[in-house]
Amino acid sequence: MELHGYFRSSASYRVRIALNLKGLHYDYHPVNLLKSEQREPAYRSLNPQGLVPAVIEAGHVFTQSLAILEWLEEQHPEPALLPRDPLTRAHVRALSYNIACDIQPLQNLRVLKYLQSELAASEEQKIDWIRHWIDGGFQALEVQLKQGPAPFAGGDTPGMFECCLMPQIYNAERFGMDMERYPHLARIAGNCATLPAFERARPENQPDSTL
Ligand SMILES: N[C@@H](CCC(=O)N[C@@H](CS)C(=O)NCC(=O)O)C(=O)O
């Protein structure tokens, strides 16, 4: 298994957590987003979107982090990233998509670059933009998570939602957001932080964090 990603990329970070939770070994191939390597032909031959991550398994290339998680789940079912009960499964997927489809894309590098270079947004306006969209998404998640005191969104074990949550919190904190405003998310994050699979996946623990 190969993972092509970038240490700070939240979509790559999701996949790293999932691979670690499932105990799957992988070779890491850094793609430096600051040097625009994601747009070079060599990487676009893996993902024509020019976005990380991409995973290669058994000669097949997989893109889109949540599609990769679903693939891993089907190929390597244990330990599961999704709960068995269909209703809880749907709930966990909806929470995950909130982050992956509706929060993170608005802070993607290419979006932020466009804001600044084409729409002349200042650094301060860019940071306001980032915080605004994370805050709206996190507030909705707080309401959706109110129901249960379970340690993780899907029950007793972490899964797809936690793979999305920890990278999004990493981004929120990078931009100065205070997680005390989101107690349910902070509680789940605290539970994840005690687990080696999450610790090993942290951006600062990746080989390209020091390049
Ligand atoms: N929906 C995609 C998003 C991938 C994505 O946005 N990747 C970012 C890093 S987190 C990227 O490669 N950005 C490069 C750019 O914006 O040029 C997924 O989940 O895999």
Q: For residue 149, is pLDDT > 90?
A: no
CA distance 187 to 130: 23
8-state DSSP, 136: H
Q: Which residues have a Cβ under 8 Å from the Cβ of 195 and sit 6 or more positions away?
A: 158
- State if residue 172 touches ligand 1 by the CB under 6 angstroms criterion: no
Whether 144 shows a pLDDT value over 80: the answer reads: yes
pLDDT number for residue 148: 72
Reported confidence tier of residue 146, pLDDT bands at 50, 70, 90: confident
- Distance from residue 120's CA to the centre of ligand 1 (Å): 22
The response to whether residue 64 sits with its C-beta less than 6 Å from ligand 1 reads yes
H/E segment holding residue 210: none
- H helices of the chain, where? 10-21, 41-44, 65-75, 86-97, 109-117, 123-144, 160-174, 183-193, 196-201
Per-residue pLDDT, 55: 98
Cβ 112 under 6 angstroms from ligand 1? no
pLDDT band, very low/low/confident/very high, at 21 (cuts 50, 70, 90): very high
CA gap 111, 124 in Å, rounded:
15
All domains of the chain in start order, with CATH: 2-79+199-210 (3.40.30.10), 86-196 (1.20.1050.10)
How many CA atoms within 13 Å lie on the side-chain side of 26?
28
Q: Is 164 in the pocket of ligand 1 (CB under 6 A)?
A: no
* pLDDT(208) > 80: yes
Residue 171 pLDDT = 97
Residue with tokens 């600062």: 204
Residues 18-54 as b/e (b if ≥16 CB within 10 A, e otherwise) read bbbbbeeebeebbbebeeebbeeeebeebbeebbbbb
Q: Is the CB of 110 under 6 A from ligand 1?
A: yes
User: Six-digit token pair at 79?
Assistant: 């330990």
Give the per-residue pLDDT at 210.
86
Residue 164 is predicted with a pLDDT of: 98
Q: Mean pLDDT, to the nearest integer, of 33-42?
A: 97
Q: What pTM was estimated for this model as a whole? A: 0.97
pLDDT in tens, 69-96: 999 999 999 999 999 999 999 999 999 9
Say whether pLDDT at 211 is over 90.
Answer: no
Amino acid (1-letter code) at residue 26? Y
C-alpha distances in angstroms, 135 versus 2, 109, 129, 142, 210?
A: 34, 18, 10, 10, 30
Question: Using a 6 Å cutoff on CB, does residue 11 contact ligand 1?
Answer: yes
| Side-chain half-sphere CA neighbours of 180 within 13 A | 1
Atom of ligand 1 at shortest distance to CA of 9?
10
- 150-203 tens-digit pLDDT: 999 999 999 999 999 999 999 999 999 999 999 999 999 999 999 999 999 999
180 C-alpha to ligand 1 centroid (Å): 27
d(CA 122, CA 99): 25
Whether 21 is in the pocket of ligand 1, judged by its Cβ within 6 Å, is no
Structure tokens at 119: 């729409």
